[in-house]
Amino acid sequence: MMEMRKAMMQGGMMPGGMMGQGDAAVSAPDRFDRMEKMMTAMLDAVKATKSALAPLYAVLTDEQKKVADQLIHGPMGMMGRM
């Protein structure tokens, strides 16, 4: 995912999905291709994290789960309070 983020920034896409000033030469379909690749990478990261987290979370005490719920967030902090 880090590699994808670097590629997006170098290609004119700024963090947060905003297009950079030099992006005017990139076609709309190309921008959507970039966005699709980034979203796919994010989904893969979420799935991998979920797979690794589930067995651990299952053995935590209720108190530990409360702490984990406060500390553990998904990529870019998007999980947790959805």
**Residue-range domain boundaries for the chain:** 2-77
Tell me, yes or no, if the pTM score tops 0.75: no
Nearest 5°: CA angle at 44, between 19 and 78? 60
| Residues 8-42: tens digit of each pLDDT | 565 555 544 444 555 568 899 999 999 999 999 99
Question: φ, ψ for residue 13 (rounded to 5)?
Answer: -90, 130
Tokens of 27: 């076609």
| Residues 43-81: tens digit of each pLDDT | 999 999 899 999 999 999 999 999 999 998 766 565 544
